[in-house]
């Protein structure tokens, strides 16, 4: 017994063996507490939060689960600081603790960003918006890493004022050099998050029109009706007026036709009724009006308006074709002739 007491009183680096044993016991107790917390609390919380609708509690539990290794490091530091340390050793441990805390915060922020992206990502069918979300996450993580690096350098007593000044000057030079690229990049995020159009939409901009095939970081590719691919920069696209036909709930169609001047008045009165009956019997077409609108140079003109309950251009063209064919068929039955450019010359004998 005396030998044990004398052994415990042995001093080693300003601490007795008793104090070292107390530090070890403190560390082991902390480990047991962490293990119990992980097994009985975190696992139960994990089951509970999976049943809730909120995603915030899922993130909290997910963060705690990923923080278990950090808890062991904290336990180690708690046990170390129970000892009598020299100023140099204590200073070294404090600096290392700051570095570990910075790395831990960066790690938590990084996994939280990844978790957020994965929660809003459809892995089977990644859309342009989801690709933008992933690119935005990478950009945010890059900014976090830059700030973390500056904090690490500051805690290592490295003067970062000159570095920041250099980065500022270099940043201005780079910004001027890549002004166009940055403009297209910011326009890309405008397109993705403001959503004036999406991939698959039929748009008209300037003198061009077509279906959006791909939205890239710098440019957007549009497939025109004639088949060629139109590549336009994002900045140019967002600075012009865009007509998005995919967003149309229904399409308003106006067309006209003309009949000859020798058409009897009775048949002229029948024409609006004939056209109304034709359109009303066509699926996905809603009749609006048909009127004898004007006396032309060589024809009596009618204007017809109807709606197509779909934005699809091909569907509209099929309906218009069907209407034209039925009008031609009905006019032929009733001997109503379409007008074409003619001139009548009267010769005075």
Residues 17 and 133 reside in one and the same domain: yes
The verdict on pTM exceeding 0.75 is no
* Residue 98 scores a pLDDT above 80: no
Mean pLDDT, range 109-124, rounded to an integer: 68
Domain count, the chain: 3
> Tell me: the pLDDT tens digits for 214-268?
888 788 899 988 888 999 988 888 888 888 877 777 888 999 999 999 999 999 9
* Residue 78 scores a pLDDT above 50: yes
In-domain check, residue 172: no
Residues 16 and 123 reside in one and the same domain: yes
Residues 80 and 37 reside in one and the same domain: yes
Residues 294 and 153 reside in one and the same domain: no
In-domain check, residue 32: yes
In-domain check, residue 321: yes
* Residue 335 scores a pLDDT above 60: yes
Question: pLDDT band at 349, cuts 50/70/90?
Answer: low
Mean pLDDT, range 33-39, rounded to an integer: 84
Mean pLDDT, range 30-53, rounded to an integer: 80
CATH number at residue 208: 2.30.30.60
Residues 47 and 75 reside in one and the same domain: yes
Residues 192 and 124 reside in one and the same domain: no
Q: Find which of 2-6, 67-71, 340-344 is predicted with most confidence, using mean pLDDT.
A: 67-71
Distance CA 254, CA 279 (A): 13
Percent of the chain with pLDDT over 70: 79
Q: What is the pLDDT of residue 68?
A: 80
Q: What is the pLDDT of residue 269?
A: 94
Residues 193 and 222 reside in one and the same domain: yes
In-domain check, residue 77: yes
* Residue 165 scores a pLDDT above 80: no
* Residue 328 scores a pLDDT above 90: yes
Question: pLDDT band at 37, cuts 50/70/90?
Answer: confident
Residue range(s) defining the domain that contains residue 236:
188-245
Domain boundary among 157, 172, 207: 157
Domain boundary among 219, 245, 271: 245
In-domain check, residue 215: yes
Question: pLDDT band at 124, cuts 50/70/90?
Answer: very low
* Residue 326 scores a pLDDT above 90: yes
* Residue 324 scores a pLDDT above 70: yes
Residues 142 and 218 reside in one and the same domain: no
CATH number at residue 322: 3.30.70.100
Q: What is the pLDDT of residue 174?
A: 53
Residues 45 and 146 reside in one and the same domain: yes
Q: In this predicted model, which residue has the larger pLDDT, 87 or 158? A: 87
Residues 29 and 92 reside in one and the same domain: yes
Residues 287 and 140 reside in one and the same domain: no
Q: Residue 293 phi/psi, 5° resolution? A: -100, -30
In-domain check, residue 162: no
Mean model confidence pLDDT for the chain: 79
In-domain check, residue 36: yes
* Residue 184 scores a pLDDT above 90: no
Residues 7 and 112 reside in one and the same domain: yes
In-domain check, residue 305: yes
């Amino acid at each position: 017994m005396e030998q044990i007491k004398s052994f415990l009183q042995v001093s080693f680096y300003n601490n007795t063996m008793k104090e070292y044993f107390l530090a070890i016991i403190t560390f082991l107790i902390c480990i047991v507490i962490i293990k119990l917390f992980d097994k009985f609390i975190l696992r139960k919380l994990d089951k509970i939060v999976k049943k809730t609708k909120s995603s915030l509690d899922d993130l909290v539990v997910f963060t705690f689960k990923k923080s278990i290794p950090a808890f062991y490091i904290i336990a180690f530091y708690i046990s170390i600081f129970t000892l009598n340390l020299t100023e140099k050793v204590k200073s070294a441990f404090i600096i290392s603790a700051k570095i570990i805390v910075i790395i831990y915060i960066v790690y938590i922020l990084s996994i939280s960003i990844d978790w957020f992206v994965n929660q809003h990502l459809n892995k089977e069918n990644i859309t342009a918006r989801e690709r933008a979300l992933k690119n935005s996450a990478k950009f945010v993580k890059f900014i976090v890493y830059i700030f973390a690096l500056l904090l690490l350098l500051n805690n290592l007593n490295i003067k970062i004022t000159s570095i920041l000044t250099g980065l500022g000057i270099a940043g201005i030079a780079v910004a001027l050099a890549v002004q166009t690229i940055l403009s297209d990049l910011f326009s890309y995020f405008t397109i993705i998050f403001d959503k004036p159009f999406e991939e698959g939409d039929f748009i008209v901009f300037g003198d061009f029109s077509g279906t959006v095939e791909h939205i890239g970081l710098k440019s957007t590719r549009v497939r025109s009706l004639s088949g060629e691919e139109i590549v336009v920069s994002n900045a140019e696209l967002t600075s012009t007026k865009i007509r998005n036909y995919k967003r149309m709930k229904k399409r308003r169609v106006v067309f006209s036709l003309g009949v000859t001047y020798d058409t009897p008045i009775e048949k002229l009165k029948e024409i609006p009724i004939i056209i109304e009956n034709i359109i009303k019997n066509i699926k996905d077409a809603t009749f609006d009006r048909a009127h004898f609108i004007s006396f032309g140079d060589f024809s009596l003109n009618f204007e017809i308006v109807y709606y197509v309950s779909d934005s699809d251009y091909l569907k509209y063209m099929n309906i218009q074709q069907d209407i034209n064919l039925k009008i031609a068929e009905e006019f032929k039955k009733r001997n109503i002739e379409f007008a074409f450019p003619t001139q009548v010359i009267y010769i005075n004998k």
